[in-house]
């Protein structure tokens, strides 16, 4: 598709330039037109029309491609909803009837996998809404969202002890996006806390503080934490894009973001919400 698009644009550009030069030669050398204003006006009209046609030639196929991709994503999302709901409902029914420990553990693994599928479903739905610029903000009980994310993260990091101190605060924000922000911050705290098994999460006076007891960062490292692909420890798995995404989300949604960190002591991330 894109190869043909490049060829078409090149051919159109080549023909346009050739036609322009030929027209200029005919007007000046054959018709002997010397009126500069008229020549400039003809050139401006010609270039404008050429620009319109080239932009349509370049953009229209891309617009069609993106629209088809969005439609496919929406259809896929719709088709995923039924099997996920079916698995969830049936595992809940089976859980009430199973008594032996071995079968119960297997069922819990299925339920855990289904929860992860739900997460991917919600993220896909979120990205589709963001691309189509649909409103995604809603009323959120922030303490409930934090508990929901901690419950999910506890399944991924069973070795981590989450210490919660939460006030019931209601905000209007992007629930899925904010959930991803919390996940990213906690994920970083866990990755850089190999000698600690505790993450403290406090929500008081419109400020969410997530504290780890890991390797921490010095002032120079703090200057670069929002740089895309930057990692304080190159041996860690991941791509170093989490905190840049966190910063972008906070800037977009008017959330004040601050980091406090001390090497070999830990890091505290604060999100201040304007109510």
Average pLDDT over residues 241-258: 85
Across 32-36, 97-101, 111-115, 151-155, the highest mean pLDDT is recorded for 151-155
**Is it the case that residue 181 has pLDDT exceeding 80?**
yes
User: What angle, 0 to 180 degrees and rounded to 10, lies between the N-to-C axes of helices 142-156 and 175-191?
Assistant: 40
- Cross-strand bridge partners of residue 257: 271
**Is it the case that residue 235 has pLDDT exceeding 50?**
no
**Is it the case that residue 268 has pLDDT exceeding 90?**
yes
* Residues of the chain above pLDDT 70, percent: 88
CA separation for the pair 189, 184 (Å, rounded): 9
Nearest CA among 168, 164, 223, 159 for reference residue 195:
159
Between 255 and 18, whose confidence is greater? 255
Q: Tell me what pLDDT residue 108 has.
A: 81
Q: Tell me what pLDDT residue 113 has.
A: 81
Q: Tell me what pLDDT residue 56 has.
A: 77
Place of tokens 């010397």: 34
**Is it the case that residue 234 has pLDDT exceeding 70?**
no
Task: Return the minimum-mean-pLDDT range out of 21-35, 106-120, 168-182, 253-267.
Answer: 21-35
Q: Which CATH class is domain 137-273?
A: alpha beta
Is residue 189 within 8 Å of residue 182, measured between CB atoms?
A: no
The structural domains of the chain, with segments of one domain joined by +, span 1-134, 137-273
Nearest CA among 257, 237, 70 for reference residue 181:
257
> If you average pLDDT over every residue of the chain, what do you get?
80
**Is it the case that residue 44 has pLDDT exceeding 70?**
yes
Structure tokens at 168: 């019931």
Task: Return the minimum-mean-pLDDT range out of 208-212, 216-220, 262-266.
Answer: 216-220
Tens of pLDDT, residue by residue over 137-160, are: 889 999 999 999 999 888 888 889
Between 208 and 65, whose confidence is greater? 208
**Is it the case that residue 64 has pLDDT exceeding 50?**
yes
Structure tokens at 124: 């896909």
Q: Tell me what pLDDT residue 239 has.
A: 34
pLDDT tier at 269, thresholds 50, 70, 90: very high
Task: Provide the whole-model pTM.
Answer: 0.59
Across 110-114, 208-212, 228-232, the highest mean pLDDT is recorded for 208-212
């Amino acid at each position: 598709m894109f190869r043909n698009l490049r060829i078409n644009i090149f051919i159109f550009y080549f023909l346009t330039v050739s036609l322009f030069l030929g027209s200029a030669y005919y007007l000046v050398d054959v018709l002997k037109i010397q009126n500069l204003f008229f020549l400039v006006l003809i050139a401006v009209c010609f270039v404008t029309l050429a620009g319109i046609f080239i932009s349509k030639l370049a953009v229209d196929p891309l617009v069609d491609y993106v629209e088809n991709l969005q439609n496919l994503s929406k259809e896929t999302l719709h088709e995923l909803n039924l099997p996920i709901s079916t698995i969830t409902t049936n595992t809940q029914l089976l859980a009430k009837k199973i008594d032996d420990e071995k079968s119960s553990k297997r069922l819990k693994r299925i339920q855990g996998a289904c929860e992860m599928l739900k997460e991917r479903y919600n993220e896909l739905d979120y990205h589709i809404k963001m691309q189509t610029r649909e409103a995604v903000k809603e009323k959120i009980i922030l303490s409930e969202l934090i508990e929901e994310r901690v419950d999910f993260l506890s399944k991924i990091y069973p070795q981590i002890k989450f210490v919660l101190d939460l006030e019931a605060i209601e905000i209007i924000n992007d629930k899925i996006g904010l959930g991803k922000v919390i996940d990213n911050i906690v994920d970083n705290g866990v990755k850089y806390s190999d000698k600690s098994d505790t993450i403290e999460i406090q929500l008081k006076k419109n400020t969410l503080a997530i504290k780890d007891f890991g390797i921490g960062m010095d002032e120079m490292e703090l200057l670069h934490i929002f740089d895309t692909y930057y990692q304080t420890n190159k041996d860690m798995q991941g791509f170093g894009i989490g905190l840049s995404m966190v910063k972008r989300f906070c800037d977009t949604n008017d959330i004040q973001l601050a980091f406090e960190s001390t090497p070999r002591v830990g890091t505290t991330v604060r999100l201040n919400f304007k109510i």
